[in-house]
Amino acid sequence: MPPVMINLVAAQSETGKTTVLEELLPELKKRGLSVAALKGNLHHFDLDTPGKDSWRFKKAGADIAGITTADSFFLFGSEGGKNGAEAAAGLLANIDLIIIEGNKKSSNPKIEVVRSEINNEPLLPDHTIAVVTDRKDINLNLPVLKLGDNKALADFICKRFFDKENYGGPEPRHEGLTHFDRSGRPKMVDVSEKGQSKREAYARGEITMEPQTLKRVIAGDLGKGDVLGVAQVAAVMAVKETGRLIPMAHPLGVSGVEVDFEPIIEKSKIEIGVRVKLTGQTGVEMEALTGVSIAALTIYDMCKAIDKNMVITNIRLVEKKGGRSGHYRRGQH
């Protein structure tokens, strides 16, 4: 589930937004939330100053540049078609809540800070959901919270966005498992906000059989015909049907499928490989794995009359490219 994003805004500077956020963060942490705090809509910052090393890295083509210290880090980057906050949210997928200080033009829900000595009247930009103020006489058709009552503000955020008034910790998040919502129910991941990119996955598996069976498969003299030829077609068909076979997999417009078979005579088995490619918003790992599985099952089906002891094993993802998580290769992670 993507993180909740809120902007903390005010009509002008020096209103105390930073102090409000600084004092709010410990209250949210007490409630078990993981929180990111961002400064919004800056035109430039020191790390991005021309001539700085990080600026030079970015100009040289780095997708993300930054600095690290012994116990912290600072990263900056961009993503085509997205503003800074949207791009940052993609990198903060495991965070519960992102609070962005500033940017009144954002389409996110907003909490406005109104301090009587600075800006006596609220600005109420679009999507304002509450006002935090030291004024006692303010009358709005919105929740009005007392400036400095950070417990009440934390409770408001938790009730509004996490379905609990006195939040005692996040709902089970099935850490790292994106196909469950906060209540533990299965869901199909919403990829509508993700950009198109080139993606590729390669999976392998194996089917072990009697030596005589393997010889007949290689020779092509089984009564049902060309076993590997049929298994190749089955793999391609399975790749295209993955969205119908795996409940939470997306139907995808696959652009290419390659299937390879490698008989290993000394171990009496056939290694099966399936590579799948597309340009899209989600990866093709499940398509490659499904293609391998169905190819192996097809070989079993065509040979079971003479060898019911065949064993299908070791179906695994070997490599994936593209997408937010980048390049994965088995044995390097």
Closest CA to 31 of 153, 129, 133, 113: 153
Query: Quick one: tokens of 166?
Result: 């006195």
- Asked if 48 is an active-site residue, the reply is no
* Exposure string over 50-60, b if 16+ CB within 10 A, otherwise e: eeeebbebbee
Kindly report the number of other CB atoms within 10 A of residue 166's CB atom: 10
- Cβ pair 303, 237 in contact under 8 A: no
Report d(CA 25, CA 34) in Å as an integer: 10
Report d(CA 200, CA 320) in Å as an integer: 6
Strand intervals (E) in the chain: 4-9, 35-39, 64-68, 73-77, 97-101, 110-114, 128-133, 144-146, 197-208, 256-264, 269-280, 311-321, 328-329
Q: At what angle do helices 227-240 and 285-303 cross, to 10 degrees?
A: 150
- Amino acid type, 108: N
Element (H, E) at 243: helix 242-245
**Of residues 48, 181, 260, 301, which has the active-site annotation?**
301
- The residues carrying an active-site annotation are 301
